[in-house]
Amino acid sequence: AQGTDPTDILSRTSLDSDGDHMSDDWETAHALDPQVDDGDEDPDLDLLTNYREYLWETDPHDPDSDHDGYADGFERTHGFDPSSAADATLDTDGDNLPDLWELTHGLDPDNPADAAGNADGDSLTNAQEFNAGTNPLLADTDGDGDNDDVELANETNPLDRHDYTLVDTDNDGLHDAWEAAQGLNVGVNDADDDLDDDGLSNAQEFAAGTSASSADTDGDGYSDSFELAQGYDPLSAADALLDFDQDGMTDLWELAHGLNPNNASDAAGDVDHDGVSNHDEFLAGTNPLIAPAGDGGTGSTDQGGGNGGTDGLPDQDMDGMPDSWETDHALNPEDPADSARDFDYDRLSNLDEYRLGKEPNTDWIHVPVEGGLPYISYQFSDLYTDSGRRLFDLNDLGEVATIKTGSQSGQFSLWIWDKGDWIDGEWGGAVDRSGGDGGHFSRLVARGGSNQQYGNGGGRVSSQGERQRCHPCLW
């Protein structure tokens, strides 16, 4: 039988170095620290502490140890065994609805009459909802605009938001009801647009189930594109609390600040050398990448929002970015929505840029040259030619690789962006223009002729257009 006496379980080994009533062998086998009293922690967020997981012989890093579809803590709360999948089929009242399913959906496992009930008013009984795999508390389980009973009648899948019968007037793959709910135009193909400026197109938002009108669908402080890029769920705010390495810093915060969520030792590190550990910066809501005067350094005011704070500075729109920082960077301190936008198209939201101490509007340089022709200058650094993500490498001397006029030694690419329209005209000598749609991104690729080489100094690309802006391709 499952044991509940810690003395019996601990007798398997007498060694418990940290005195947390969990044996060292068990802690080591389950990726816990036998030198730290972590019995009250809950790394898998299943509402069972490590100590309770130890008693019940469940996995402290798996919220559903028996893989029966119900969280360990939920099973224990209702008197079921989280280490056995067999109890997932128990049906005390004989209504063909498993007890755990009924408890999950607010029904009574001792009352067979509720099988005929209809809690969500979609004309399907609770028993029919169970058989269909739909939620008896939601009339439209998949949120596609068709109620479950309508989808079953039309032989579409009530669990697949992309299996629907609604019309798509503009044939952009986004059905009209969803577009209308998101504030999109049902008569215009806007699948490739990005209404909320979070780095995801409307079509990508539709596929991911995220909001096309809110850059942070789950409201956890991290943009949808950032969460998806890092493998987290943009529909669940709970993952903003995850701390896999149990170092006291949440995983998403670590990723946003260049730390390793799988390495607990970086909690004691001090990236910005300001005398304050990364962990203390997390607790204080400051940026571990910037050494400000206010948290032990000698620099300027901390510009990192840490875990959501603004270091005590006024933030009237409560978007996590201080009013002064927004004003300095041409943002609107009265518009909370701009925290999730990405004005410089580097796939970091303005809030992410604030947290990382970066510029939300990259500063391009425009310098005239002899003869009155303008050219675009940018200092490239720490860029890679062979990673598939960045463009330039350091030369053998370790100096910054840049572009300048001279003999050809290789191809290069730039992303060019003009906030107005492109100015017609050939690009001089160095590059060919390709791609783009007349007002957005366009890639410039080196010709096979001359005028490109890797070398030192300020990068330069000749051009006959004016007021063009460039920055290195960042992905």
| Three-state secondary structure string covering the chain | CCCCCHHHHHCCCCCCCCCCCCCHHHHHHCCCCCCCCCCCCCCCCCCCCHHHHHHHCCCCCCCCCCCCCCCHHHHHHCCCCCCCHHHHHCCCCCCCCCHHHHHHCCCCCCCHHHHHCCCCCCCCCHHHHHHHCCCCCCCCCCCCCCCHHHHHHCCCCCCCCCCCCCCCCCCCCCCHHHHHHHCCCCCCCCCCCCCCCCCCCHHHHHHHCCCCCCCCCCCCCCCHHHHHHCCCCCCCHHHHHCCCCCCCCCHHHHHHCCCCCCCHHHHCCCCCCCCCCHHHHHHHCCCCCCCEHHHCCCECCCCCCCCCCCCCCCCCCCCCCCHHHHHHCCCCCCCHHHHCCCCCCCCCCHHHHHHHCCCCCCCCEEEECHHHCEEEECCCCCCCCCCCCCCCCCCCCCCCCEECCCCCCCCCEEEEECCCCCCCCCCCCCEEEECCCCCCCEEEEECCCCCCCEECCCCCEECCCCCCEEECCCC
Report, as an integer, the average pLDDT of 421-450. Answer: 29
Buried b (16+ CB within 10 A) or exposed e, 290-327: bbbebbbbeeeebbbbbbebbbeeebebebbbbbebbe
Report, as an integer, the average pLDDT of 46-51. Answer: 88
Q: Give the model's confidence band at 418: pLDDT under 50 very low, under 70 low, under 90 confident, else very high.
A: very low
pLDDT digits (tens, 9 = 90+) for 165-222: 667 889 998 988 888 889 899 899 999 998 888 888 999 999 999 999 998 999 998 8
Q: Give the model's confidence band at 293: pLDDT under 50 very low, under 70 low, under 90 confident, else very high.
A: very low
Q: Tell me, what's the pLDDT at 115?
A: 92
Q: Is the pTM of this model over 0.75?
A: no
Look at 348 and 123; give whichever has higher pLDDT. 123
Q: Give the model's confidence band at 430: pLDDT under 50 very low, under 70 low, under 90 confident, else very high.
A: very low
Look at 297 and 84; give whichever has higher pLDDT. 84
Q: Give the model's confidence band at 446: pLDDT under 50 very low, under 70 low, under 90 confident, else very high.
A: very low
Report, as an integer, the average pLDDT of 138-163. Answer: 85
Q: Tell me, what's the pLDDT at 139?
A: 92
pLDDT at 388 over 60: no
Q: Tell me, what's the pLDDT at 134?
A: 93
**Neighbouring-strand partners of residue 432:** 445
- Rounded distance, CA 392 to CA 386, Å? 8
- Rounded distance, CA 151 to CA 162, Å? 12
> What is the identity of the amino acid at 177?
A
Look at 432 and 309; give whichever has higher pLDDT. 309
pLDDT at 389 over 60: no
Q: Tell me, what's the pLDDT at 310?
A: 52
Q: Give the model's confidence band at 322: pLDDT under 50 very low, under 70 low, under 90 confident, else very high.
A: confident
How many residues make up the chain in this entry?
475
pLDDT digits (tens, 9 = 90+) for 107-146: 999 999 999 999 899 999 999 999 999 999 999 998 888 8
pLDDT digits (tens, 9 = 90+) for 60-103: 999 988 898 898 888 888 889 888 888 889 999 999 999 999 99
What is the chain's mean pLDDT, rounded? 70
pLDDT at 458 over 90: no
Q: Tell me, what's the pLDDT at 93?
A: 93
Report, as an integer, the average pLDDT of 369-390. Answer: 30
Largest CA distance in the chain: 90
Q: Give the model's confidence band at 312: pLDDT under 50 very low, under 70 low, under 90 confident, else very high.
A: low
Query: If we measure between CA atoms, which residue out of 50, 62, 60 comes closest to residue 20?
Result: 50
Q: Tell me, what's the pLDDT at 311?
A: 53
Contacts 24+ apart (CB under 8 A), 43-48: 43/243, 43/244, 43/246, 44/72, 45/238, 45/241, 45/242, 46/71, 46/72, 46/73, 46/74, 47/71, 47/72, 47/73, 47/74, 47/76, 47/77, 48/72, 48/73, 48/76, 48/82
pLDDT at 53 over 70: yes
What is the percent of the chain where pLDDT is above 90?
23
Q: Are the CB atoms for 116 and 126 separated by under 8 Å?
A: yes
pLDDT digits (tens, 9 = 90+) for 216-263: 999 998 889 888 988 899 999 998 899 999 999 999 999 888 888 999
Q: Tell me, what's the pLDDT at 68?
A: 87
pLDDT at 313 over 80: no
- Rounded distance, CA 258 to CA 251, Å? 11
Residue pointed to by tokens 């008896």: 136
CB atoms within 10 A of CB 403: 26
Q: Tell me, what's the pLDDT at 155?
A: 76
pLDDT at 435 over 90: no
Q: Tell me, what's the pLDDT at 346?
A: 62
Q: Tell me, what's the pLDDT at 264?
A: 92
Q: Tell me, what's the pLDDT at 355?
A: 80
Q: Tell me, what's the pLDDT at 259?
A: 86
- Rounded distance, CA 285 to CA 315, Å? 14
